[in-house]
Structure 1
């Protein structure tokens, strides 16, 4: 019989998958005014992030205690992870750009354009979600839960590739060719975070801090380009 904790993890995984991977949260826009729907979407994201943190609190505390004993190792691990993320992001963004030119596609992915427009209207809100809550939620789901459980049943490399692909596809807003090509850019980050997680002995704080730093840098670049 499934324990209450495992039931909670299953509920968390289903809710996140339905609402934010398959875009079920978009239905809110059809049920209420768009402004209210957007704030409710953010509220649901926060609640789900807190719920996921509560479910994983034992592992999170244990992993934090491990880091406290090896602060120097953690610092250099995060630094190397961030450099690795930077290189992977450049490589896959370049690949995405080449594909766009080859296929004659203009513009950028909807995820990027939505982020830019929302940042102009609500910079502080986007900063909090992009730099703190978003990375926390994604690392809890994609690494702490999905990758952790896949590694028990599949080879590490296959697990990393699968989770990287799911991470990239979760940033698509529709099934248009432009969105598929845009997802290629996110594949670099998805693979990098998963590799960092595995190399860090499945300690979520390695990919989490790298993810936060990476998003902060992207946000700073976005803010500068918006001036």
Structure 2
């Protein structure tokens, strides 16, 4: 039964998805806020996944597995909180490096970000419910439940994790692509280790909710004043080197951690494990 997962047409879905995306954007551009167009890929992922699952009679229970019940399952969820803190430190370190070598670029970046701080004042569904609940479920089902397992049937576990994570990061190119890549690696490992897509979904929901919360606590779309930018620059000068040091040490620790929890070569497919339970 799990061999049917290898039939999932990843390439065709992305080709059709890209075509539909371009057509839709061309037709409705100017009528709808461009930020809302991020919903389109997820709709394509959802429809293609559902059609494939019903056509091939794939077991949804075997894909999703059990709801996290054991300490080990929840441990990965708690570990992600620490990983998220590390990613924030890395992001701060990146801003510090930009500030040291090109202050004007950082000012432009901050000015542009603050001008988009009213992102969440348009639609409750598109800006809160969709990214905080629906998108994590759709994307985990599509990228981990189907694509990752398809790749695991075709190649080694390591390559399957890396290639599926690259695809995930490319789809999220607009949102710090390298962070998205490491995020995808982590949730892929969690899914393989726990055999539960629910664990990956919970982590994804936590991630997106924190992101939305950060937008909500921004300056309501008002651009930062010159004095506020100067104050931020002074803060970056003071704590930037420490952010950089903590980020480097954190990355070294992350690499050792990933090596420790990395799935073994002959890791069983979550689908195969769940269907025998």
Give 1:72 shift: 2.3
Give 1:143 shift: 0.8
What is the TM-score with the length of structure 1 in the denominator?
0.69
The 3-state SS of whatever aligns with 1:56 is helix
What is residue 176 of structure 1 aligned with on the other side?
A: none
Partner Cα distance (2:96, 2:189) in 1: 29
Partner Cα distance (2:19, 2:82) in 1: 29
Give 1:128 shift: 1.6
Q: Residues 226 and 129 from structure 1, CA distance in 2 versus in 1: closer, same or farther, beyond 3 angstroms?
A: farther
Q: Residues 100 and 217 from structure 1, CA distance in 2 versus in 1: closer, same or farther, beyond 3 angstroms?
A: closer
String of CA shifts for 1:128-150, please: whole Å, max 9, x gaps. 21122211221122111221111
Contact 1:142/1:163 (<8 A) preserved: yes
Question: Between Structure 1 and Structure 2, whose CA radius of gyration is higher?
Answer: 2
Give 1:50 shift: 4.5
What is residue 77 of structure 2 aligned with on the other side?
A: 82
Give 1:196 shift: 0.7
Query: In structure 2, which of residues 12, 15, 34 is the aligned counterpart of residue 14 of structure 1?
Result: 12
String of CA shifts for 1:60-110, please: whole Å, max 9, x gaps. 23355x526xx522xx455322223223333344334434443535327x9
What is residue 165 of structure 1 aligned with on the other side?
A: 166
What is residue 215 of structure 1 aligned with on the other side?
A: 208
Q: How many residues align?
A: 206
Contact 1:171/1:183 (<8 A) preserved: yes
What is residue 132 of structure 2 aligned with on the other side?
A: 131
Which stretch of the first structure deviates more once superposed, 161-170 or 51-60? 51-60
Partner Cα distance (1:32, 1:78) in 2: 43
Give 1:184 shift: 1.8
String of CA shifts for 1:143-199, please: whole Å, max 9, x gaps. 1122111112322223222222322222114xxxxx7xx312222311111111111
What is residue 119 of structure 2 aligned with on the other side?
A: 118
The 3-state SS of whatever aligns with 1:34 is coil
Structure 1 residue runs without a partner (length 5+):
174-178
